[in-house]
Amino acid sequence: MDIKSSLSGIFESLLEKEPLFKNKEALRHSYTPSELPHRESEIRQLATILTPSLRGETPSNILIYGKSGTGKTIVSRFIGNELMETGRKISVPISVPYLNCEVTDTQYRILSNLAKAFGKNVPFTGWPTDKVYNSFKEAADREQQCIIIILDEIDKLIGKNGDNILYNLSRINSELKNSRVSIIGISNDLKLTEYLDSRVQSSLGEEKVVFSPYNARQLEDILKQRAELGFKEGVLEEYVIPLCAALAAREHGDARRALDLLRVSGEVAERENSDVVTEKHVRKANEKIEADNIAEVVRTLPTQSKLLLYSVILLDERGEKTITTGEVYTTYKRLCKAVSMDVLTQRRISDLISELDMLGILNSRVVSKGRYGRTKEIKMEVPPIGIRAVLEDDIRMKKLSDYRLPQRRLI
């Protein structure tokens, strides 16, 4: 067959065709390079606090603060590895288990993961929590060693039963004979301690390290380093990296964002069969990332909010110059009937509109139209076309794709 012959080997040809990247992994934020630019002082600070562990003493517990993409995780993991390495050389056993509390978000899961890290086999559910706790304690205490537990995204534990685990871990030393435990907590939330139990607060926050956001110049250095590893030589135009850095710096200096931007720029360029990455590609990549983020937010919206958003889009497409709460509400009620869903009250819808506003999907502001009342004026903050497609992906809203709004009545 004709088609078959022209398409056979399609994957081979696509595989070969990676003219721009040398090692794409190096451009992901999960990659740990051997050097971490502009975090020397933080690394030194942490190292100073942790050095006692190499002398067999117990280092202070540490809380690390900083916004996303400031290198908290990568620096902690780096220093953990260095510590274990050095410990091995001078035969002081140190282990540095790493846990992400967004994934392991209950007392049970944390303890069972810790127990597993020390070779215990704990079922993922079933045991009473204190049995798991004892299991971990026993395993940890089997030989003399220093254990430094890294708890990433520790703020995700607050409010759950997580306060408990923090309290238990911070006191575990009094129950151990051979080993010593200390904790490194990592948080995005600068106000973390306000939410903590005061006992936990004082023991956990013995030392505090703050990671400040990178500025554009520092981001540039990071990108340069990674680009050297990730891209082939000479495929980046001169202003690509500075532009990526500048765009990411606008977003509170998020290195993760900067790296994503650079990598996606490369992908965009590749897809366009360009043999260099240009500023144009960066701008496209930026739009793509933004659009993907929004699409993701919209996709995970509760159904009622989706329906509400759909109403706004319909009104917007009908060409209303100003959309008010009342108009949205009447359209929304029609749509509810069309897909046979419960109708919420206007009070609630008003709140949902404000939520969408906070998410940056809508823009609503309160205006007074004098005799004609006070209302919210609502505008789409993002292009509706893409959003509409995402909304129609929802099974419950499929039928709406050919729904027609009644024509605007002319006064």
Judged by the rule CB under 7 A, the positions of this chain that interact with DNA are 161, 302, 304, 324-327, 342-348, 350-354, 366, 368-376
Burial group, residue 243, by CB count within 10 angstroms (0-12, 13-18, 19+): buried
Residues 67 and 213 sit within 8 Å (Cβ to Cβ): yes
* Nearest distance, CB of residue 112 and DNA, angstroms: 15
Count CB neighbours of 255 within 10 A: 26
Residue closer to DNA by CB (options 45, 331) is 331
* Nearest distance, CB of residue 357 and DNA, angstroms: 9
Tokens of 180: 């010593």
What span, in angstroms and rounded, lies between the C-alpha atoms of 99 and 268?
A: 34
Residue closer to DNA by CB (options 347, 409) is 347
Count CB neighbours of 148 within 10 A: 25
Residue closer to DNA by CB (options 215, 322) is 322
* Nearest distance, CB of residue 375 and DNA, angstroms: 4
3-class SS string, 196-264 = CCHHHHHHHCCEEEEECCCCHHHHHHHHHHHHHHHECCCCECCCHHHHHHHHHHHCCCCHHHHHHHHHH
* Nearest distance, CB of residue 353 and DNA, angstroms: 7
* Nearest distance, CB of residue 120 and DNA, angstroms: 22
Residue closer to DNA by CB (options 119, 159) is 159
Residue closer to DNA by CB (options 171, 374) is 374
Residue closer to DNA by CB (options 196, 219) is 196
Return the axis-axis angle of helices 325-338 and 346-358, rounded to nearest 10°.
110
Residues 78 and 261 sit within 8 Å (Cβ to Cβ): no
* Nearest distance, CB of residue 377 and DNA, angstroms: 9
Residue 184, SS3?
Answer: strand
What is the biggest distance separating any 2 CA atoms in the chain, rounded to whole angstroms? 87
Residue closer to DNA by CB (options 235, 298) is 298
* Nearest distance, CB of residue 161 and DNA, angstroms: 4
What span, in angstroms and rounded, lies between the C-alpha atoms of 196 and 157?
A: 10
